[in-house]
Amino acid sequence: MTVESTAARTPRRSAGTTGAKSTAGKRSTAKKSPSGEPELVQLLTPEGKRVKSAEYDRFVAAITPDELRGLYRDMVLTRRFDAEATSLQRQGELGLWASLLGQEAAQIGSGRALRDDDYVFPTYREHGVAWCRGVDPSNLLGMFRGVNNGGWDPNSNNFHLYTIVIGSQTLHATGYAMGVAKDGADSAVIAYFGDGASSQGDVAESFTFSAVYNAPVVFFCQNNQWAISEPTEKQTRVPLYQRAQGYGFPGVRVDGNDVLACLAVTKWALERARGGEGPTLVEAYTYRMGAHTTSDDPTRYRHDDERAAWEAKDPILRLRRFLEASNHADEGFFAELEAESEALGRRVREAVRAMPDPDHFALFEHAYADGHALVDEERAQFAAYQASFAEAEGDN
C-alpha cells in the first residue's frame, strides 16, 4: 500500500537500514562491518573528510580542483532548479512536481560518470542526471505543467523521456543494452529506479535478461528509503544490492550522499559494461528529504527527526566542507555560484510562464498512425464537453 495525500498511518520513527540481517555472498563487492551490517562505499565523510578506498580511488584519482568545483556547482544548481519547480507548483504554474531534494550526489555523481554516447533511462525524479546530460531544465517542466508529453528529444542527449510506470524503464534499458552489444559498440546504458521499483516484476525480468545476455547495463537504484509512504523494509528482507547475487552479477552499495563515491562506483560499473562483463547493480543509499511529490504529505507517515538525521549527511554541505578544507574554493566562488543559482531560478520561472497552452485536440493525435474508432468517439465526446462551456457562457 502506498499513500499520497490521504495518508492515515502512524509515522515511523526511524528508517534505519533494511530489515533483515546481511547474507551477502562472495560476489558482493561491499565489505561487512564487524556487526555484520553492510558497509557503504564512501570517499567523503559527512564532515567532508576524504577516505581512502583501495578499490575505488583509482576512478577519482585524476580529478582536478576545477572538476570538484564543477560537481559542487552541478549539485547547487540542480537543487536551486528543484526548489524553483516546487515553488512554481505551489503558485499553480505546475500541476505536480517530484523533488530530488537530498539525492543530488547520487544523480550528479552517476551522471558525470557517463560518456556522451552512453544512454540513460530515467524515472520521473532524475533532474540532476538530466542536467548532466545537457537537457535544458525548463524542458523538464512542460510535462509537469501539462503542456506536452515529454519536452525533449531523447536522442539529442541520449536521455530517454521520464517514465512514470514504475520499473518499466529497466526493461527498456535492458533491451537497448542488448542492442548496443549486438551492434558491437562500446557504449553503456544506465537505468535509474527506486527502492519501491525494486519490487516490480519488470525489474526482476530485466535483471534476468541482462544477466543471461550479458547486457552492458548499469542498474542504478536510488534507495531513498521510501516509496511514497512505504519504507524500504516493506520492499526487501535483504539489502537491495544483494539481490544482484541471485541473478549472477555484482551488486554494491554506495553512500548516495557522497558525490565522489557515486562517481567512482558508477565509473567502475560502466567500465565493466564496456569491457563485456555485463550488468552491475549499484544501490545508492540516500534519502528523499522532501515529499514524494507535491501531492504528498510525509508528516502523515514519518517523523521529522528522521529527516533531521539525514540533513547532517547533506550531499552539498559535505563537498563544500571538503572544498573549503582543501582550499579548492574561496568565498568568491561561492558568491558567484549563488548569483548564478538565482539567475537560473529566474530563467526557469520566466520560461514556464511563457509556455504556450497546447491545442486541446492535439491529445488525440498520434495515438494511432491511421486513426481508431474509439479515439474518434473520445474526440467527439471531448468536443461536446468543450462546447458545453460555450453554451453555458452564452446562457449567462
Ligand X SMILES: Cc1ncc(C[n+]2csc(CCOP(=O)(O)OP(=O)(O)O)c2C)c(N)n1
Residue 88 binding result from ligand X, Mg ion, none, given CB thresholds of 5 to 8 Å by partner type: none
**Which of the residues 112, 127, 243, 288 is marked catalytic?**
288
| Contact present, 221 and 193 (Cβ < 8 Å) | yes
Residue 109 binding result from Mg ion, ligand X, none, given CB thresholds of 5 to 8 Å by partner type: none
Could you tell me the maximum CA-CA distance found in the chain, to the nearest angstrom?
Answer: 78
Minimum Å gap between C-beta 77 and ligand X is 21
Distance between CA atoms of 70 and 77, rounded to whole angstroms?
10
**CB within 8 A of 395, min separation 6: which ones?**
none
Nine cell digits for residue 117: 554516447
Nearer to Mg ion, 198 or 341 (CB): 198
Please confirm, yes or no, whether 301 is among the known catalytic residues: yes
Minimum Å gap between C-beta 227 and ligand X is 3
Nearer to Mg ion, 145 or 253 (CB): 253
Please confirm, yes or no, whether 176 is among the known catalytic residues: no
Nearer to Mg ion, 56 or 193 (CB): 193
166 binds ligand X (CB under 6 A): yes
Contact residue for Mg ion among 227, 240, 262, 270 (CB under 5 A): 227
Stretch that binds Mg ion, among 6-14, 193-201, 255-263, 386-394 (CB under 5 A): 193-201
15 binds ligand X (CB under 6 A): no
Among 212, 152, 151, 150, which residue's Cα sits nearest to residue 177? 212
Nearer to ligand X, 235 or 280 (CB): 235
- Which residue carries 540513460 as its cell? 120
Please confirm, yes or no, whether 292 is among the known catalytic residues: yes
In DSSP terms, which residues pair with 190 in a beta bridge? 120, 218
Long-range contacts of 58-62 (CB under 8 A, 24+ apart): 59/263, 59/264, 59/265, 59/267, 59/268, 60/260, 60/263, 60/264
Could you say which residues in the range 116-145 bind ligand X, by CB under 6 A?
A: 125
Strands (E), the chain: 119-121, 189-194, 217-223, 226-227, 230-231, 251-255, 280-285
In the complex, which residues of this chain contact ligand X (CB under 6 A)? 2, 125, 164-166, 194-197, 224, 226-228, 288, 292
Residues belonging to the active site? 288, 292, 301
